[in-house]
Structure 1
């Protein structure tokens, strides 16, 4: 560079130092830098003046955009502004130029910044549909996905992405232009002007998007006063909005801020905080207010759990998106909403337990069927298992506090430190079963009370088996309660059929007189008809249990009766000349038993066969006396 710009003159005598000194610049490097900087100012002035809408240069430049008109010139414009900034800094440090030149440069800089403000605003405004958070976030996702896609994608797949990639391109160009302008303005000391425009436009876009999603600001007082049906609708709207809000709107806004203001982390944080904090506080303030509501009852628990699950599922994204110190209040509010919702769930579980214990109906369920309380509680618990993961979190540090020892059949297999939810659910089932024991005492017939207990416990076990409750309560619990159902069934059989069994001699083949045989037949007829008459109106809801009970009764009754019948029927015929006392053929006892435990009297009742004369249309009449 010295050789090209500072050539030495003709040689002079060595004894003429004054000439040599006069021909060489006093500071070659300094002069070159000055001239270079002055040239930068000249170049910048030409370009800045051309696009200065206030200078009156052309009407065209006042209405168009550098970035739309000539992208190459836009790059030159940004470069010239950067060179202008470098020149100003150079002359300020070196103090080798006049104040007039610095003032001129400063005026040019102000004109340039004014133009860039306009360009920045225009790009933000004109590309609202391409810079929406959904486009930005999805474009980022697709960009990361494409890096792993093979170059051998089929032509049809390429064609299907044309429209999407076109939008991506527009979005990417706009983001790149915004970043270039922001970099330039921040480097020139005009970052505040850039940030002001960005915040105003982007905040309005975010607020509008949330409004369209149905997110609205509500105070705790408003939530407390709201009718449940209205509040439930608000909750549904919020659940639909929160995932889009976090995964798309806030995520996209964070990406855009980080990209546009990549030159300054502090500015990116400031912008994101200004744009999103208020909206995020509105979004997560709603579930916190619901959790604080005083009107929550057990029936409303599932909506509260929906809110808890939504925030819990989104927590990794919330923590990442709002990771700045300035947005820590958003993270705190999200956590606090989980705390309040969890407290509400605990309170509703306690209220649910209390409601079971306080159920006061005194009317026995007809036919010994399943009690409405049993259905309600088990259906409720079944629905709760859809929220096993969040409930496990909620009750993890909420041990069951009871003073009496717990039966091993209910709690012997659970680790209290690991299975608080299992223990809690087992306890609620135990509360229900204890309540059902009290309901069984309302029946005057002891056999029916045991049938009631068998029906209800079988319903409970069936619900456990067919739902996720089986994973909470476990095989041990199911096995123990299955055995309890069989025990109740056996007690029903003992109380309901012992009189019938005892009406026959212990040894049906023993030789007895005709009079004794007549007494046994009469006793059997009376006992069987009494049992049959009652039990045709009783019910066993579970088909498998009903069949098991009938088979068990038949195995104990029919073989004994058959032996007695075959050994003594003919003797009565010879002694009395008629068999009016022998009302039931052994092969037809199964028919009568089949009528039982359906909850309604079926076919012909036993009483219709009390006389030896007449016929009946019932299938049972055709089997009387073996005919």
Structure 2
């Protein structure tokens, strides 16, 4: 059996020595099964004689056949065969009468209805096969050839009947109970052992037929029937999962949304094959061919190969479609699904077939992985290509920042898979990035706040991840210059920088990849934006509250004091009017900004007001200069960065 070919559907793949000898016998072609019934109906006397023998002398005739077979086996001189007894013809008629009785049954499946007769029939088939084999050892002669021809014809009729019964059991049981095709491994509706679509009783019947056919030299016919039926059953199971074979051209023409749905179906099918269908199918095959394990392995391997090729063809077709960023996650799902399929195939198929199929599955997974690497690396181009010249109102978080960081966060949910494929496809990364990189692992911000250095110990995926965030930084630096107000530039960079930090910190996978040192470095950069904003906006305002230059000849010079209060009021009102329209959506950052502004401005204003208000309060227009109390300033600062211009409100008295 080691030399059995991989396709049971190829004629001659299971032909044994006995089957080859049959081709040399000048027996007539196996007649149509129903012609037997017709022939016997026309010979009532023959039928009565056979029934009489069948009822009274079956045991004796069977023993006569066994003795004759043993005699043939013991003959040393094959050129001198013994006389063929009448029991051979009688036994032939008995077996034919049994076939006629089976066909008189009204049910489609006849075998297995009458236990005693079934056992006799199978034992009779075994006797005929053994006798035929023994007769084949003798050269053609006038004494043995007629008996050999007669036995061969009866054996062919018996095998034709069993083949039909085998097919009926495979087809009829499956069609009446097809929902059992998707039972979880090891479970059945009645709590017993599960077989795809078949009860244990039906499996037992099929096993008995398979044993009889294989032992009689009819492996080819038996395996062809089984293979065709189970392949059709598997196709029905796949169709029940809404998976249809789609040509490469059709896949190429699909828009992404319908293709995405097909990929989801494909993933469901592959998972079902790995977890349920393949294990169940192997159990069934092992049970039906329990006495011929080598046949079981090959039949299952052939079936598995047909299914695997079908699912891999779809995967290869998907990989050939144009690359786009939104396909990455489905590609990764497909890669992981194929990886999960490998153990199921390896454990179920023959060693050679399993090795071949797992190699093909791995190769398909590599093609998907390579495409995923290219897609991820294309993210660099997406960032560089975003050259919009319209600034985001209020210095808010840019849509590009949200897109890239959420893309990275989602991608890092596949961290292990991406680490694996990036490690495997280093050459692809170099190829994809060669035209997009300046060849340096250091990128300096236009604002000279930082110099990013990638660790040499970083994995290829981690390096690519950091490269993407640095490219985003450069893009945001460029976009910040769309704002004429330097303070707003800082707010924009602060907003986007804080958003990036939140996404990194909120994803343990990203943080693990980039490392704490790299994260702290980015936090320092964002804090620097904060300091720059404080200096640009509030540093100038605080110049109005300086004490120097207010005294002339040791006395406070009121015109200069009035000018200082007036300048402070005008500048503060202008800042409030402008920066209340700016957007800081992160509540924590918004609170930190307001607190830091208040901490700088309020003490300075309170000190200035406390020391110098006495020089103006006695005047007629004191309120013209002293418009705000410290509490008023604090209230107005609380209105900054909410994206809505507020009225200046009332000053407190």
TM-score when scaled to structure 2?
0.76
- Are 2:556 and 1:513 equivalent residues in the alignment? yes
**Do 1:66 and 1:74's aligned partners in 2 also have CA atoms closer than 8 Å?**
no
Aligned to 1:238: 266
- 1:427 matched to 2:470: no
Q: How does 1:62-461 map to 2 (within 5 A)?
A: 67-90=111-134, 98-99=143-144, 100-129=146-175, 135=181, 138=184, 141-142=186-187, 162=190, 171-272=199-300, 274-293=302-321, 295-323=322-350, 325-326=352-353, 330-399=357-426, 401=430, 402=437, 403-406=439-442, 410-412=452-454, 415-416=457-458, 419-461=459-501
Q: Which residue number in structure 1 is paired with residue 631 of structure 2?
A: 587
Instruction: Map 1:41-56; keep pairs closer than 5 Å.
Output: 45=92, 48-53=95-100
1:525 maps to 569
User: 2-side partners of 1:334 and 1:30: how far apart?
Assistant: 56
Distance 1:478 1:64, change over 3 A: closer
Q: CA deviation at 1:395?
A: 0.8
Let me know the Cα RMSD of the aligned residues: 3.6
How many angstroms does 1:310 deviate by?
2.0
Partner of 1:470: 511
Distance in 2 (CA, whole Å) between partners of 1:168 and 1:220 is 31
**Structure 1 residue 479 displacement after superposition:** 2.2
Matches of 1:564 and 1:377, distance apart in 2: 47
Give 1:300 shift. 2.5
How many residues of Structure 1 are paired with residues of Structure 2 in the alignment?
Answer: 557
Residues 472 and 588 of structure 1: CA distance in aligned 2, closer, same or farther (over 3 Å): same
> Structure 1: 5+ residue runs without aligned partners?
1-28, 144-160, 606-617
Q: Distance in 2 between matches of 1:219 and 1:238?
A: 14
CA offsets per residue over residues 189-247 of structure 1, 9 Å max, x none? 11122122222322222223323433333333332233333323322332233222443
Cα distance in 2, alignment partners of residues 105 and 218 from structure 1: 50
In structure 2, distance between residues paired with 1:413 and 1:33: 83
Cα shift at 1:389: 2.4
Does the residue aligned with 1:490 lie in a helix, a strand or coil?
helix
Specify the alignment match of 1:17 in structure 2. none
Q: Is the 8 A contact 1:443 1:449 kept in 2?
A: yes
Unpaired runs of 5+ residues, structure 2, are 1-65, 75-84, 431-436, 444-449
Q: Per-residue CA shift, 1:222-279, capped at 9, x if unaligned?
A: 3223333332332233223322244333443333233323444553355335545444
Secondary structure, aligned partner of 2:618 = helix
- Does structure 1 residue 503 correspond to structure 2 residue 544? yes
Q: 8 Å contact 2:195–2:284 — kept in the other structure?
A: no
> How far did residue 301 of structure 1 move?
2.1
Once residues 270 and 312 of structure 1 are traced to their aligned partners in structure 2, the CA distance between those partners, rounded to angstroms, is 23
Q: Quick one: distance in 1 between partners of 2:67 and 2:403?
A: 92
Q: Distance in 2 between matches of 1:120 and 1:589?
A: 94
Aligned-residue offset at 1:581: 0.9
Query: What is the Cα deviation at residue 594 of structure 1?
Result: 0.6
Asked whether the 8 Å contact 2:122–2:212 carries over to 1, the reply is: yes
Q: Distance in 2 between matches of 1:166 and 1:190?
A: 28
CA contact (8 A) 1:117 1:194 kept: yes
Does 32-41 or 512-521 show the bigger shift? 32-41
Deviation at 1:556, TM superposition (A): 1.5
TM-score (norm 1): 0.79
Partner residue in 1 for 2:38: none
Structure 1 residues 513 and 75, CA gap change in structure 2 (3 angstroms):
same
Indicate if the aligned counterparts of 1:136 and 1:256 stay in contact, CA closer than 8 A: no
Partner of 1:556: 600
CA distance in 2: counterparts of 1:169 and 1:564, whole angstroms: 91
